């Protein structure tokens, strides 16, 4: 009888585990448990109108029309806690003469904190198939030779993020977004594809 109850319990879990298109077919870990932890960005592509940014091997390359930037060393880490808080840390290391003769080396650091929640469940969109991030604080600073030369922080910024969760495994996370912003000059199309590995 115990085996039969366990079998029914496991079968009941299967439909609720697979929310993203490429999620595992079966796992005993909840989506919250799988998301919780520290995630390091491995590869990403961001498209903003006619500008494309690509991150691979901890380097960012920007392409705009006929211009392609030199590779820029970057580090991007997302951290999620089960109660629903998150933190994003970014570091961009600009070397001497980066795309501009005579410019000095500097490091740009960014930290953002806020709350996260799963979204979805309307129409054809499965429940918990989207990730909503609502920032409540961020700070950024620029340092030269280890000394800060410029810093700013903002509490309760207005904009949040809504990602489609394409894949969520215990050690792999793929987020996507595709949006159109209406501006005074017309519509602006933005999209992104981000692949993370759990640290």
CB 127 within 8 A of CB 170: no
CB 32 within 8 A of CB 185: no
Per-residue pLDDT reduced to its tens digit, 151-188:
999 998 878 999 999 999 999 999 999 988 777 777 88
Domain segments of the chain as ranges = 2-198
Q: Give the span between the Cα atoms of 120 and 103, in whole angstroms.
A: 46
| pLDDT band per the 50, 70, 90 thresholds, residue 19 | low
Q: What is the pLDDT of residue 93?
A: 97
Find the range with the poorest average confidence among 52-56, 89-93, 143-147.
143-147
Mean pLDDT of 45-52: 95
Helix ranges (H only) for the chain are 2-17, 31-35
Does the pLDDT at position 8 exceed 60? no
Share of the chain above pLDDT 90, in %: 67
Mean pLDDT of 32-57: 97
What's phi and psi for 183, nearest 5 deg? Answer: -125, 175
3-state secondary structure of 81: coil
Mean pLDDT of 127-135: 96
Q: What is the pLDDT of residue 36?
A: 97
Does the pLDDT at position 31 exceed 90? yes
Q: pTM for this structure? A: 0.84
Mean pLDDT of 47-56: 96
Mean pLDDT of 46-73: 95
């Amino acid at each position: 009888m115990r085996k039969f109850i366990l079998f029914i319990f496991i079968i009941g879990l299967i439909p609720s585990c697979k929310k993203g298109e490429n999620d595992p077919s079966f796992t005993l870990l909840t989506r919250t448990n799988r998301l919780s932890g520290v995630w390091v960005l491995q590869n990403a592509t961001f498209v903003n109108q006619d500008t494309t940014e690509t991150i691979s091997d901890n380097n960012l390359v920007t392409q705009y029309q006929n211009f392609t930037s030199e590779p820029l060393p970057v580090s991007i880490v997302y951290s999620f806690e089960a109660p629903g808080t998150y933190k994003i840390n970014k570091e961009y290391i600009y070397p001497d003469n980066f795309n501009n003769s005579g410019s000095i080396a500097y490091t740009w650091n960014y930290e953002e904190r806020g709350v996260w929640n799963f979204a979805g469940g309307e129409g054809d969109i499965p429940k918990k198939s989207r990730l909503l991030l609502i920032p409540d604080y961020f700070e950024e600073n620029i340092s030269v030779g280890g000394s800060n030369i410029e810093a700013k922080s903002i509490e309760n910024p207005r904009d949040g993020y809504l990602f489609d969760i394409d894949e969520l495994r215990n050690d792999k996370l793929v987020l996507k977004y595709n949006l159109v912003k209406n501006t005074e000059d017309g519509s602006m199309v933005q999209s992104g594809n981000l692949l993370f590995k759990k640290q």
